[in-house]
Amino acid sequence: MSERIRFELGESDIPKFWYNINADSNIPPAPVLNPATKEPVTPEFLSVLFPMELIMQEISKERYIQIPEEVMEAYKLYRPTPLLRARRLEKALGTPAHIYYKYEGVSPVGSHKANTAIPQAFYNKVSGTHALTTETGAGQWGSALSMACGFYDLALEVYMVRVSYDQKPYRRFMMETFGAQVFASPTNLTNSGRSILAEHPDSPGSLGIAISEAVEMAVTSGGKKHYSLGSVLHHVLLHQSVIGEESLKQMDMAGEYPDVVIGCVGGGSNFAGIAMPFLRENLKNGQRTRLLAVEPTATPSLTRGIYAFDYGDTAKMAPIVKMHTLGHDFIPAAIHAGGLRYHGMAPTLCSLYDAGLIEATAVGQVEVFDAAQLFARSEGILPAPESSHAIRAAIDEALKAKETGEKKVILFNLSGHGHFDLFSYNRYTSGQLENYDYPEEAIATIRERLPVVNF
């Protein structure tokens, strides 16, 4: 095995196709339902929100979908991204495990979100769209889509969860520099926002609320605006598969193959991006890699939520999908991982989890920042709080290997840097962060708050 630390690919190694797990999983997809009629949606219904090319990708059964040349050219700004072996972290832990990480923080906006923002903006542009609306939690998605809209001369409105709007002003400044308008959600600009504020004037907001506002602005625009989402939907997971495809080549360069692949999950896009190509290898080529999704104990949709049909947003405007959910009216605690505060999870991932093809675990906020600090001091990269959930799980896997004396190969997705998260790090180093476990009494009432559907 090579003693190298960095495993770099060239431009010619950038994947030319997105990989679609639906071609190989053999799990029948649950229907997506119209929130008003509770009947299966039609492409015409979805066309109010998305361009037809993305709708067709959403329902595609093709194994590989070619990446447009215009998107490939934009990808070359930062892809392929490096894969590194965390030798200094291994030494700090005293583990026989070999720890690798795929570093998506080298993108211009500092996260994996550009992988789908660029094609979404491109497809909207070529379909004749002039403006987009979206939501953002920590601001990584909003930053990526702001950049992409700038590439294709599209206007953008971003509804940013209020607690993140206040905690992460530099993300907002970045979006505005790229040309986006950014609003603290809930706002007085939409019916859904006003209804929330009327009942909860000091609402910290949620991704469900911000989605409602962004969807409402698109739906009521008379066709002038489309909506764009940075996670959850299948076409988003599809676009992120470039991460795993590159990782397969890089692990081959390292002369090793992972026993476990790890990613944080909020909506599920970065975990799916690295994990799905490895799941293909499990399903088609006999590999046995464990695929571990890591979420906060404050928003434990996979590990403690109900697998059922639920609205994708708080105001019940987005389609109803089958997913592990904490309930569409979920208001999260103000934890410092804004990108992981969604009430549900990508339906594709939920079906794979239900089938036992992937695993999930939940970790506490303080332990996550403990891991982030150790990683920063060992590897010299300040990770995003969201990505640090994957680091926490990778460290835990490495410590298990230390106990058993096994040489495990661990790969995780470092999906973004934490340069705009210093407020959170300051609260951690000053001892102001606390763990939060979603209460059992709230879990017990989820089912009674779900929509009644006949599927």
For 105-125, give one letter per residue: b (16+ CB within 10 A) or e: bbbebbbbbbbbbbbbbbbbb
Name the strand (E) or helix (H) holding 72: helix 69-75
User: How far apart (Å, rounded) are the C-alpha atoms in residues 57 and 49?
Assistant: 14
List pLDDT tens digits, range 139-157: 899 999 999 999 999 999 9
Q: In this predicted model, what pLDDT tens digit does every residue of 239-288 receive, in sequence order?
A: 999 999 999 999 999 999 999 999 999 999 999 999 999 999 999 999 99
pLDDT band at 337 (very low <50, low <70, confident <90, very high): low
Instruction: Report pLDDT for 11.
Output: 96
Q: How confident is the model at residue 120 (pLDDT cuts 50, 70, 90)?
A: very high
**Please, what is the Cα angle at 295 between 292 and 300, to 5 degrees?**
120
Greatest CA separation for the chain: 63
H-helix or E-strand spanning residue 359:
strand 359-363
Does the pLDDT at position 163 exceed 50?
A: yes
Choose between 275 and 330: higher pLDDT: 275
Tell me the per-residue pLDDT of 197-248, one tens digit each, with 9 for 90 and over.
999 999 998 888 999 999 999 999 988 999 999 999 999 999 999 999 999 9
Per the prediction, the chain carries an average pLDDT of: 94
Q: Is the pLDDT of residue 294 over 90?
A: yes
pLDDT band at 335 (very low <50, low <70, confident <90, very high): low
Q: What tokens does 453 get?
A: 């559907």
pLDDT tens-digit readout, 344-368: 999 999 999 999 999 999 999 999 9
Q: Does the global pTM surpass 0.75? A: yes
368 in Cβ contact with 411 (< 8 Å): no
The answer on pLDDT for 398 being more than 80 is yes
pLDDT the model gives residue 1? 43
- 8 Å CB contact between 16 and 236: no
The fold adopted by the segment(s) 6-13+68-110+235-449 is: Rossmann fold (3.40.50)
